[in-house]
Structure 1
Amino acid sequence: MVKKLLIKASNSYSDNFQIVPINTLIPVRIQSEIGDFELSINIKNFDGSKPHAANSLYNLGDQYYLDKTPIDPEKFHKNEVETSQIPNLTFEVNFRPKFPVNGKEFSFGNDFTTPIKDYVPTTLLSAGLKFFNWFINSTVKGDVYCDKPFLYGPILNSCTYMSIDEDMPSKQSVLDTSSQKFPENLNSNVDNILKIPEFSLERKKFFNKLVNCENFVFVESSMYKLKFDTNFIKMADSKYSVSLPTYNNSTFDINVSKYANDKLDNFNWIIKIGGYEGVGYGKLGLVVNFSLVDE
């Protein structure tokens, strides 16, 4: 048997899951107690499980689904695509809150609902946590040794791109890996009192100060465009690996898939309010479950 990726989204850990079409830019819509979400995911060289066969593409811009049936061009953006420039993994989320959400409490991250310490070497877990703190987000909080491991950080310093009530330039999401090159408009947020940098890298540094996160409020009158993309994570051909940066701009790939088994076969990407203490805390908004299934 071969293990292949199955990607689902919900507003909980247990039910209401929808299959997420991959590389189509066609969103799934999730309603939750904290607000409404629209989610689309792109994965370079995606070879998913059977539930994805008739709704997902191997790469963004392909003309055929995984089951070889042709796409309906009317459903897709008519942008030119340069596959070599697409990040390994991209989340694009539209979020409209149902009530004001404090920026310090609005979190994004990963978690597991089963222990991983019995299956993944301790040294690798420790290195992974340090990697997140040093290279990705110094405000990330987590515990990779507990029964339900997690890593959460404020969404304001996690996203590659953010905007209010407007999309990125039309070709950006399919042509350019560098979301941070495009100006953002967070200063137009309702009742904003901050001087937020216009570009992503500076915005992330700005919101690494949690007092700045605390002074930003996501309001129910606005739609927030949230994008996260990375080349540190690879899911090509249903093989999951993490790339750690080394010297001379090179990387060292760790094959995470080899640790998968009947008990450790899935993990989640999470957006929620609060709950930095771990899984089961806070108010859930969006749960995106990645699992490896036998075929």
Structure 2
Amino acid sequence: MTDKYIIRVTAGPDYDMSCQTEVAVNSPNPLKISSDLIDVELNVKVKNYRGLPRGSPSTSPYFEVEPHKYNNDQYSIGFKFSLKEPEKDMSELTEGGERVDDEGEEIEHTEEDVIGGILGRDLQFGNDFDHPIRDRLPPGFGTAMNIVKWWIDPGLEGDAYADRPYLYGCGLSSFNAVWVGGEKEEGLKVEEDKGGIWIEEGGDEEWRGTIGVPEDGKKRMKWALNEENRGKWVWEYGRTYGVDFYNPYIDFSEYALRLPGFSVPIMKYWDGQGLRTHPKRLHQLRYVLRNRKTGQVYLVVLFTLHRAEDINEDGSLKPAAIEALRKSSGAEGEKGESLADHKSEENGGLDEDKAIEEAKKKLEGVSLDAKLDGKEDDVD
């Protein structure tokens, strides 16, 4: 079934497909993206990759380096970035140094003006969609989400049954590795033997230490689950950061979601349901870096499944695929039910308690550093 489709990865500073650029998956050379809000250098790595562009490496040396070899990580979205201070329309100042608008009225300082960046609690990373996906969610999806929130990231929030579904996490508790640049901007170099820009937890130790950020990545993720701690962190304008998001749970070679105690053959379900009811709709998974407070989008990484018949031999898209992309970027939300209307029926007969118990058995004895088992003390 998987040979009917070809995956293509694109990235850009916005949802608009005209702003998206094809990513050379598993290439050590990062894709550079720039907008009025951010500068980014991005590497996307996928294990057992069989997608576009043609001739892409099937894997990356990244997956042979620890901790990724031990984790059996299946993909990575890693990027170096620097946020830009938003431009202000009002530049005229009073004698006292206050900003005023064109009519001479004083303009109040925003929280971002005062702190010089974005608070930790406001920079989110996650998935969203332009149209409802409830008709394509597999039986047991709610169980899968419970396992994800229990084991992977308890900071996730969202509604998969909404007209415009979303699942966002606080970047500080979602990113597996976070590197903070200092004045000398050392580090985050392209290392071909590690698959591209190599990002490890760390960076400016003095900056991190001032607000009490743990040195270890898992402990930092746990630390960031605390609302007060998230308020201490500021993603500063002009400072360089590096983040890496990876896990072993999405298998892009088989299009499957594999969680402890639970597995979903996504393509089987999509082929049997999604294509029959919506034959022209693209299958896409979109990762977004955004501002929770303002709704501004900084980075969009899009994994799109195209029919093999819609791709030319040289890897370019045929008119049918281009038209499908155009329509997908402007899809209108369909009127439908809310999450509450589906809670009682969406598991499709799956024994949720049994699946959760199986997950717990498989994970028994594993240290849950992200405050997932409720047995460890809270981080102050």
TM-score higher than 0.5 here? yes
Tell me the residue number matched to 1:243: 258
Indicate the residue corresponding to 2:171 in structure 1: 155
The Cα shift of 1:160 comes to 1.1
Amino acid at match of 2:228: V
Q: Which residue of 1 aligns with 2:81?
A: 95
Cα RMSD over matched residues?
A: 2.8
What do residues 214-272 of structure 1 show as CA deviations (whole Å, max 9, x unaligned)?
21111123210101111011112xx31111113xxxxx431112233332511200101
Structure 2 residue runs of 5 or longer lacking an equivalent are 86-116, 182-186, 309-380
1:128-151 Cα deviation digits (max 9, x unpaired): 321221111111110010122111
Give yes or no for contact 1:81–1:174 (8 Å, CA) kept in 2.
Answer: no
Give the TM-score of the pair, scaled to structure 1: 0.78
- Give the deviation of 1:195 after TM superposition: 0.7
Runs of at least 5 residues in structure 1 that lack an aligned partner in the other structure: 62-78, 247-251, 276-280
Secondary structure of the corresponding residue to residue 167 of structure 2: strand
**TM alignment of 1:168-207, pairs within 5 A:** 173=194, 183-185=201-203, 187-189=205-207, 193-207=210-224
Deviation at 1:27, TM superposition (A): 1.2
Partner of 1:13: 15
Residue aligning to 1:234: 251
Q: Tell me, what secondary structure is at the counterpart of 2:125?
A: strand
How far 1:286 moved relative to its partner? 0.5
Query: Aligned pairs, how many?
Result: 256
Give CA-to-partner distance per residue, 1:61-98, whole Å, 9 cap, x none: 5xxxxxxxxxxxxxxxxx99569926210111101011
Which residue identity does 1:253 align to in structure 2? S
Equivalent position of 1:253 in the other structure: 263
> Are 2:65 and 2:194, in contact at CA under 8 Å, matched by a contact in 1?
no
- CA 1:23/1:80 → structure 2, altered by over 3 Å: closer, same or farther? closer
Q: Secondary structure at the match of 1:118?
A: helix
8 Å CA contact 2:28, 2:195 repeated in 1: no
Q: Distance in 1 between matches of 2:26 and 2:236?
A: 30
1:91-147 CA-partner distances (Å, limit 9, x unpaired) = 1110101131211100000112221111224x4331232122111111111001012
Letter of the 2:257 partner, please give it.
V
Inter-partner Cα distance in structure 1 for 2:63 and 2:172 = 30
Name which of structure 1's ranges 252-261 and 151-160 shifts more when overlaid on structure 2: 252-261
Counterpart residue number, 1:72: none
**Residues in 2 aligned to 1:9 and 1:171: alpha-carbon distance in whole angstroms:** 21
The answer to which of 126-135 and 80-89 deviates more is: 80-89
- Give the TM-score normalised by the residue count of structure 2: 0.61
**Runs of 4+ in structure 1 over 6 Å off:** none
AA of the residue aligned to 2:128: D
Identity %: 23
Equivalent position SS for 1:104: helix
Equivalent residues of 1:114, 1:263 under 8 A apart: no
Letter in 1 for 2:265: N
SS in 2 for 1:22: coil
Partner of 1:65: none
